[in-house]
Structure 1
Amino acid sequence: MFKILFFIISLALSFPCLAQQEIATMSQAKRLLDQKSYAEAIKVFQAVFAKKDADRGEYYDAACAAALAGQHDLAFAWLNKSIDKNWWNIDHLKTDTDLQSLHDRPKWPIMLDKLQTKLAAREKNYDHALKKELEDIFISDQKLRTNIDAIIKQHGENSEQVKATWDEIERLDAANLKRVAQILDSKGWLGPEQVGERASSALFLVVQHANKAVWEKYLPMMRKAVQEKKASASSLALLEDRYLAFGLGKKQIYGSQLQTIDGITKLMPVEDPGRLDERRAAVGLGPIADYLQNWNLTWDLESYKRSLAEDELKEQKTKK
Structure 2
Amino acid sequence: MSKDRTNGRAGHDAVELSFLQKISKRLPEDLEILQALADLYTKTGKYEEGLAVDEKLSHLLPNDDLVWYNLGCSYALTNHPDEAFEALTNAVELGYGDYDWMKTDSDLNGLHNDPRFESLLSWLYTACNEEEM
Q: Above 0.5 in TM-score? A: yes
What are the superposed Cα offsets for residues 141-162 of structure 1, whole Å, 9 maximum, x if unpaired?
xxxxxxxxxxxxxxxxxxxxxx
Aligned mates of 2:91, 2:64 — CA distance in 1: 7
Q: How do residues 143-222 of structure 1 correspond to structure 2 at under 5 angstroms?
A: none
Aligned mates of 1:33, 1:68 — CA distance in 2: 9
Match of 1:119 among 104, 124, 128: 128
Q: How do residues 2-13 of structure 1 correspond to structure 2 at under 5 angstroms?
A: 12=13, 13=16
* One-letter amino acid of the structure 2 residue matched with residue 90 of structure 1: Y
CA RMSD, 1 decimal: 2.5
What are the superposed Cα offsets for residues 76-99 of structure 1, whole Å, 9 maximum, x if unpaired?
122112211222221111111111
Aligned mates of 1:47, 1:88 — CA distance in 2: 23
* One-letter amino acid of the structure 2 residue matched with residue 79 of structure 1: L
Structure 1 counterpart of 2:17:
14
Match of 1:83 among 54, 76, 92: 92
Q: Show structure 1 runs of 4+ deviating over 6 A.
A: none
**Contiguous gaps of at least 5 residues in structure 2:** 1-11
Structure 2 counterpart of 1:175:
none
Work out whether 1:56 is the aligned partner of 2:60: no
- Bigger proportion of residues as helix: 2
**Contiguous gaps of at least 5 residues in structure 1:** 1-10, 125-320
Aligned mates of 1:23, 1:77 — CA distance in 2: 26
Aligned mates of 2:63, 2:49 — CA distance in 1: 18
Which structure is richer in relative contact order (CA contacts within 8 A, separation 6 or more)?
A: 2
Work out whether 1:28 is the aligned partner of 2:31: no
Q: Cα 1:57–1:39, aligned 2, differ >3 Å: closer, same or farther?
A: same
Between Structure 1 and Structure 2, whose CA radius of gyration is higher?
1
* One-letter amino acid of the structure 2 residue matched with residue 119 of structure 1: C
* One-letter amino acid of the structure 1 residue matched with residue 115 of structure 2: P
Q: Cα 1:31–1:54, aligned 2, differ >3 Å: closer, same or farther?
A: farther
Deviation of 1:38 (Å): 0.6
What are the superposed Cα offsets for residues 229-267 of structure 1, whole Å, 9 maximum, x if unpaired?
xxxxxxxxxxxxxxxxxxxxxxxxxxxxxxxxxxxxxxx
* One-letter amino acid of the structure 2 residue matched with residue 23 of structure 1: P
